[in-house]
Amino acid sequence: MSCSEEDISKMSTLLASLLQNDTAVIRSAEETLKPLLKDPRCVPALLEILKGTSSQSVSVRHVAAVLLRKRLPNHFKTFDPNTKTYIKSEILLVLQNEPERIVRLGTIGVASSIAKKEAEAAESAGGGVGWTELLTFISQAAGNPNPDASELAFLLLSEMTEIIGENCRDQFPSLAGLFQASLVPGVPSKVQHASVAALGSLLSVLVEEDDESVVAPFAALLPSVLSVALSPEAGSEEMITTVLDMLYDMCWSNSSSITGGIVLIVKFALHCLANPNLEMTVRDSAALVVATLAESKPKTLGSRCNIEEIVECLFNLIENSNDSAAGALFENNPAWREDMDNNSKDGRAEDDDADERDWDSPTATSMAQGTLDMLACELPKKYIYQPVMSRCVTRLSSTNPNQRKAGIACLGVIAEGCTESMREHLPEVVPHVLHAAGDSEAQVRECACFALGQLSEHCQPEILAYSNQILPIVFALLDDTTVQVQATSCYVLEMFCERLEPSGVRPLLDSLVRKLASMLESSTKRSVQEMAVAAMAATAVAAEEEFAPYVPGVAQLMSKLLELREATMYTLRGRALECMGHVAIAVGKENFRPYFQQTMQCACEGLTFDCTELHEFAYAVFANLSKVMGEEFAPVLGELVPHLIDVIKMDEGQFEQAEATGDEGKAFNSLDDSDDEENADNYILHVRTALLDSKKGAITAIGEMASHTGSAFVPFLEEVMAVLQTAAKNWHPLIKAESAEALSSMVVPSVAAHHGGSINWTKGDISGANPMSPHTNAVVSAVLGELLKLMDDDDKGAVGKACEGIQSVLELCGPHALMPVSTDCLTKTHALLARKSPCQMAEEAEGEVEGGDLLTEDDDHDTFMTSVCDLVGTYGRIMGPHFAKYLNQFLPAICAYAKQSRPSSDRSMAVGCLGEIAQELGVGISEHFETIFYPASLACLADEDDNVKRNAAFTIGVCCEGLGELVVSQYPQILSTISPLFQIDSSASDQSAACVDNAAAAVSRMITTCPQAVQPMNQVLPVLLKALPLKNDMTENETVYKCLLGLLQANHPDVAVNKAEFLRVFQSAMAEGSNVDDELKVSINQALAALA
């Protein structure tokens, strides 16, 4: 294919016009070029211009290369083989001879676009590389002593990553040799940089490969890459950034050859992270590598790397920084940012031109805290808890306030991830935090509040035992002179009071309400006002009906905030709305009714504002008020449900064409071919996070409305079910989890409309007529179908919510609801227990890489597994004796979690699950008692953890109750093993009290079932009576009083001997404030009369 000199001249003139500073000239040239570039004859003209080193300017030749890259791919397929060969040979000549780097770079793009087309053609013809001459050229150029030629080779490889990864695998060993030859001392830095960039691009394509032989040749280059990056000659920031990007991609690979380099990767990342001479964004990339390894390879990181070294590095970053270490709580809060910036201005001289902080940029503290949080959340706790806590304790005793700040801040950071370890060690942890709260340095006090808040949020309910120590200290900190301390102390109150019982908050209730109201009225800091309102809401929830006298005053305060209309005040308005919803929950329908209409009007008005955060607050209020007002909420359903449906339908993400990378990609976009196939997949998903949160809130609200407004919700069921079924397939795990919870609520309105609110069903009975109406049956079928799909999701949170949803539906509707889906339910549940479900596959993959030796000892408790085990208990409750035939499958999987090597939460969960099965199946467990239930219960009764012992006591008790005479021979051993539980100090903690209560209940069940087998009764009965009344687990009241009343009615001789104790226990049951049911009190009162 040829072109005339006139064509070349005309094209050259137009390209030169594109480079002018005159917009009109550029637009005119573009309009003229567009039709010319659609004609294949433009290719030879552009090619001749590209080759014209003596006749064309560098800039024009560069533009020719850019346009060739854009237009050649679509025209190339129209050319005959000879023309294609000619074009390829000419491009190779340009690459070989072009003296100007910018033109070479442009021509690389042309070559890669041709290579892609040739590879596609070869693949269609049966396989092969396509343009073999290009690979030969690359191989020769890489070995050329001219650094320009060597760099060119690796730049070409970088552009051709996908082609090489898919079509050149048989040449991987030789390619690895090219890379290795470039990563030795003496090679020019620009060549090494290009080599590392190309290697990183290739590995990013190969990270998901299962074939070890594919990845291994390139993974073996890691030591050389890191050596180059650390060398003074080549180790520029640009090089280090390129290497860190490569390491990030490698983090996700399950290849053993890549995993084998994890120690080197971590050492390099820590070196960069600790280097103050590097830009903060580069150091942040290093932190991301460590955090990603924690997420993708937690067991490998913990077992192979020096966690002590990682933790020390993170502590050093925090203590050597002047940034607030509690700021992570509020950095996304505009009010907090504004107040902190204003404080900084107030502290500077008028002529100080220092810039305000860029809140979106990383700091040493934010990097360290984010990385430590990921380590704490992901690593097995045996690797991370002690290294962090030992440093916290050491630094808290330091004379250096920055070290004390780091110590208390890091303690707060790990509270979420290490919650189980924190709960076990609260007696040692809390004194350190309380001491730090009284520190002379504001930055330490602020972090102490942060730590207290984290403990209050994540160590429930154990932290509540310290309310008498914590609340007075926090109350005093509300008067602190530092805004940060005031706001964080409000945060502590919010987190702590959410789970506190009325008795816990009662001593300080009046003072708290007055103090928070005063702060709200007097403070000019929006961040303090917002946190004060949140703390007020939490105080109301803790106080429950005792908050009723404060409602008028608080409502008046909130009403002022509910009238705010300035955009900067929307969050404060939303907080006030949220507070009213919490007050409603606290004081109930009757006390809140006078404020219902006003609160609803304000919430609905907020929906008209252009503020998704305000919408989210409104949805939360709708959820709470529907829960409180019940059927009185029904009149607004017609207005709200369609709105919520529209929100749930909205797309929270949208695909947008990705920006081209590099100057060549961005240049002359108006001259792109709209039909260019190369851009067909060049789109990325932009997520509107605020809308995502609104959608989640709307799903929550619609679920609560369905649960609490009764039959009035039925007309909306069909449309709501449709949007929830779609939402359950959403890409975001939070939306899927929320949808699972809402789906189960859809059954409630049908049950209200067709069954008066409840369905009468019999355990295990599927022989009779289905008690569900056709409508309810259809809703149940649709709901369970969606929830079963979610059990196969890859997100544990969504799976846990699906299990809870199935449990809720089955317990409401009974065996006929389970029967059609029983096989799926049981199969999927067993897969979860056996760790064979999709959401557990990533952990299994890492275990396989590690040789399987870390699968048990290193696994921490998965909270969602509690929902799985609860579902197993529900199967027993619904199926009754029919579940017995599945025990051979389920029991081994459950007992795997009861091993001593498992975390205490797992052991407690497993033995508790055995107890629920035993309680529901009775004699149905008889063939498994001596091999499973009995040894597991005895082992767990001797456990060091009170929760494990508690559940073991329950299990052995219900086994004795259900199996009766079949197990009386084991009574002596059971009594001997359970006896130490009565020596536990019930006042030590709620867990200790519950443990003793369940021991008492177990012995009571044994006595009630076979009193003659409980020997010697004259020793057992006094111990039992001494442990009564129950202190914590009031669900066992009926069990223990039934036992005592039975002994009394049988005129057992030991009753008279222990008459005084019987009177004491019975009188406490009749006392005011007793938690004993009224029906049971009638029998106890009669017993008291008989004893008198």
Q: What is the pLDDT of residues 593-612, one digit of tens each?
A: 999 999 999 999 999 999 99
Residue 360 confidence (pLDDT) above 80:
no
Estimate the share of the chain in helix, then strand, then coil, as percent rounded to the nearest 5: 75, 0, 25
What number is the average pLDDT over the span 444-461? 90
Question: Which residues contact residue 718 at a Cβ distance below 8 angstroms, ignoring those fewer than 6 apart?
Answer: none
- Spell out the residues 6+ positions from residue 133 whose beta carbon is closer than 8 angstroms to its own: 88, 89, 92
Is the pLDDT at 669 greater than 80, yes or no? no
Q: Dihedral sign for Cα 886, 888, 893, 895, please.
A: positive
Question: 429-438, long-range: CB within 8 Å, 24+ apart, which pairs?
Answer: 429/389, 429/455, 430/455, 430/463, 430/466, 430/469, 430/470, 432/392, 432/393, 432/396, 432/408, 433/408, 434/469, 434/470, 434/473, 435/396, 436/396, 436/404, 436/407, 436/408, 437/473, 437/474, 437/477, 438/473
For residue range 8-48, what is the model confidence (pLDDT) as tens digits? 999 999 999 999 989 999 999 999 999 999 999 899 999 99
* Confidence band of 679 (pLDDT split at 50, 70, 90): very low
| Percent residues over pLDDT 90 in the chain | 70
- pLDDT of 2 above 50: yes
pLDDT at 357: 56
* C-alpha–C-alpha distance, residues 372 and 291, integer Å: 8
pLDDT band at 680 (very low <50, low <70, confident <90, very high): very low
CB 129 within 8 A of CB 119: yes
Q: Measured between alpha carbons, how far is 450 from 1060 in angstroms, rounded to an integer?
A: 51
Quote the CA–CA distance of 990 and 460 in Å, as a whole number. Answer: 11
Beta bridge partner(s), residue 653: 687
Question: d(Cα 522, Cα 475) in Å, to the nearest integer?
Answer: 17
The rounded distance, in Å, linking the Cα atoms of 946 and 952 is 10
Cα–Cα distance measured from residue 536 to residue 11, given in angstroms and rounded to the nearest whole number: 73
Average pLDDT of the chain to the nearest whole number:
89
* Packed helices 401-413 and 364-378: angle between N→C axes, nearest 10 degrees: 40
Number of H helices, E strands in the chain: 58, 2
Which residue blocks in 438-525 are alpha helix, DSSP H? 442-458, 467-477, 483-497, 502-505, 509-522
Beta strands per DSSP E along 873-916: none
Prediction pTM value? 0.80
**Tokens read off for 680:** 């067909």
From residue 746, alpha-carbon distances to 98, 718, 770, 784, 786 in Å are: 70, 10, 19, 11, 12
Structure tokens at 62: 């560069």
Higher pLDDT among residues 752 and 481, named by residue: 752
Are the C-beta atoms of 480 and 442 separated by less than 8 Å?
yes
The residue type found at 895 is C
| Tokens standing for residue 791 | 């059990």
Whether residue 675 has pLDDT greater than 50: no
- Dist. CA 1030–CA 982, nearest whole Å: 12
- Which residues, in sequence order, are CB contacts of 542 under 8 Å at separation 6+? 497, 498, 499, 500, 501, 502, 504, 505, 586
Output DSSP code: residue 451.
H
Q: Vertex 964, ends 959 and 967: CA angle to 5°?
A: 70
Cis peptide upstream of residue 1016 (ω within 30 degrees of 0): yes
pLDDT at 474 over 90: no
pLDDT in tens, 228-275: 998 887 668 899 999 999 999 999 888 888 888 999 999 999 999 999
How far apart CA 323 and CA 326 sit, in angstroms, is 9
Residue 516 scores a pLDDT above 80: yes
Whole-number pLDDT of residue 676: 44
Return the ∠ at Cα 274 (arms to 271 and 277), rounded to 5°: 100
Q: Please tell me which residue, 349 or 324, carries the higher pLDDT value.
A: 324
Question: Per the structure block, which two tokens stand in for 546?
Answer: 């005792």
pLDDT at 678: 43
For the chain, the straight-line distance linking the first and the last C-alpha, in angstroms and rounded, comes to 118
Query: For the chain, what percent of residues have pLDDT higher than 70?
Result: 91
pLDDT tens string 551-608? 999 999 999 999 999 998 999 999 999 999 999 999 999 999 999 999 999 999 999 9
pLDDT of 328 over the 60 cut: no
pLDDT of 286 > 90? The answer is: yes
The pair phi, psi for residue 574, each rounded to 5°, is -65, -40
Neighbouring residues of 238: CB distance < 8 A, sequence distance ≥ 6: 193
Number of C-beta neighbours around residue 372 at 10 A: 27
**One-letter amino acid identity for 573?**
R
Secondary structure class of 677 (helix, strand, coil): helix
Main-chain phi, psi angles of 1007, to 5 degrees = -65, -45
Tell me the C-alpha distance between 975 and 1020, whole Å.
9
Q: Which two tokens stand for residue 113?
A: 């676009």
Q: Return the pLDDT at 590.
A: 96
- Kindly report the number of other CB atoms within 10 A of residue 721's CB atom: 19
Which amino acid is located at 436 in the chain? A
Q: What is the CA radius of gyration of the chain?
A: 35
> How far is Cα 511 from Cα 472, in angstroms, rounded to an integer?
10
Digit-coded pLDDT (tens) for 685-742: 556 677 888 999 999 999 999 999 999 999 999 999 999 999 999 989 999 999 999 9
